[in-house]
Amino acid sequence: MTHPTSTEIAGRIEDLYGAPLADLEAHAQDQPPDILTALLGLHSTLALAEHSITVHRERLAQLIHPERDISAHEVVHVLDCARRIAEAVAVRDTQAVTASAVLQSLVRIEPPEPAERAEQAESPEPSPAPPTTTVPPAPPAATTTSAPSR
């Protein structure tokens, strides 16, 4: 099963928000966490996992090169590289699936055309009235007098 790469995810984020990823990252730093922040975090983790896979795969290829003898000491390094690759693949797959699912659920809404904006500014629609609640009237307060009762 092939998953989208970090480059594909970045492109989809840029298409969704209509701005380059670097601009979106700069914008997100000044804002409270939102869906953009989450998407950028997913992308960052995905890119890091892909980088880790590449680095450890290259290191593993060096360690098991056919012309090289593998000593007992190097077996530990071979196993460590294999473990790190497996972890990075699991992270990559999870982040790719999650990012794809979130991006598929979002739709870009185009801003209104300038003419539509002007019409909206001239004749704003009345806002709905806030909901009202009816409170039953309080029972009449007992009247007290200072006159003695008979």
Model pLDDT for residues 101-118, shown as the tens digit of each residue: 999 999 877 777 776 666
Give the pLDDT of residue 62: 93
Q: Alpha-carbon distance 150 to 146, whole Å?
A: 12
Over residues 57-103, the pLDDT tens digits come to 999 999 999 888 888 888 999 999 999 999 999 999 999 999 999 99
Whole-prediction pTM: 0.69
Task: Please state, in angstroms and as integers, the Cα–Cα distance from residue 62 to each residue in 30, 54, 58, 69, 86, following that order.
Answer: 43, 12, 6, 11, 18
Q: Mean pLDDT throughout 22-41?
A: 93
CB 103 within 8 A of CB 39: yes
In this prediction, residue 1 has a pLDDT band, given cuts at 50, 70 and 90, of: low
Q: Alpha-carbon distance 117 to 6, whole Å?
A: 36
Q: Alpha-carbon distance 31 to 69, whole Å?
A: 54
96 CB burial (10 A radius; 0-12, 13-18, 19+)? buried
Give the pLDDT of residue 132: 41
